Amino acid sequence: MNFPQLRMESVIGQIGLTSQRSIQEIEQPPAEMTIKQPKAELTIHRTPGKLTIDQTQAWEDMDLKHISKRIEEFAQHGYQDWLSGMARRAQEGDDLMRIENGGNPVVEHAKINSESPVYEFNIGFVPSPFSVKVNYQAADVRINWKTNKPEIDVKVNKPRHDYTPGIVSGEMIQWPSLKIEVIGLELDGQTVKD
């Protein structure tokens, strides 16, 4: 007995794909930064030191005196001599007035007034110690400063992003097909080929 057979022929379909790659560009501009550093402010107030040296007494100890000082001393010395002279004359007058009490006041007065005075001398230092007066006033320095913080300004730039998407296009290179044949099929005693 003959069985009918099916004969199939198929052609696979082929698709052609054409693709264009996507393009992505990313650029990051650098940040813009400005920095300013203001100068520090410094002020200095200074009062200079003061040194004073007074040699007046040392010069006077060496008998190198100013003329006004000499005039003043001479006037004072003359006044003292005048007072002591008045006291001596008053004393001599009193002694002569009481001559009846005894003694010889005229001879004694003559002897006292004719003798030279006795001067005593001891060790002396010219000029005398500590006769030069030194005074020093220290300097005064005041320093003030003010620091200023830096001024920083930052501008952040956004990234630039360009994107071109890829394109994929397809086309049929070969269309699919299926061909079916029946072999060995008999209908009413006749063989059917196709």
Q: What is the 3-state secondary structure (H, E, C) of 58-100?
A: HHHHCCCCCHHHHHHHHHHHHHHHHHHHHHHHHHHHHHHHCHH
Closest of 44, 73, 76 to residue 143, by C-alpha: 44
> What is the reported pLDDT for 189?
61
Residues of the chain falling short of pLDDT 50:
none
Q: What is the pTM of this model?
A: 0.38
136 three-class SS = strand
> What is the reported pLDDT for 190?
62
β-sheet bridge partners, residue 161 = 26
β-sheet bridge partners, residue 180 = 8
